[in-house]
Amino acid sequence: MSLPLKDFRLGITESIASALDAESCAFDKDVQSVAREVLQEWADRRHHAYEVYARVLANGAQTELPASEMMEDPCTSRRGRK
């Protein structure tokens, strides 16, 4: 069973559209599937980077920000909502 999808639309440059089209043709997939895969790979890399950063902090690395500032939700603190 696949996960439910959310509608997400944005403008892209001609070069991004060309790259998605080329990947779509090369691997016989629809452009939306290729774009989802690219975004999933990006999300996975970001998640991995966060885990590495958390391990570094857990091992006693010093940061420029106090822990309380690091834990704030930037969306909530900037916009006052989630």
Q: How many CB atoms lie within 10 A of CB 31?
A: 13
Cα–Cα nearest to 20, from 37, 42, 6, 7: 37
0.75 surpassed by pTM: no
pLDDT at 61: 73
Compute mean pLDDT per 10 residues along the chain, 82 residues long, and list them: 86 97 97 96 94 88 61 60 48
CB 31 within 8 A of CB 24: yes
pLDDT at 7: 92
Amino acid making up residue 11: G
Show me where the domains of the chain are located. 14-79
Structure tokens given for 73: 């939700």
Q: How far apart are CA 80 and CA 82, in angstroms?
A: 7
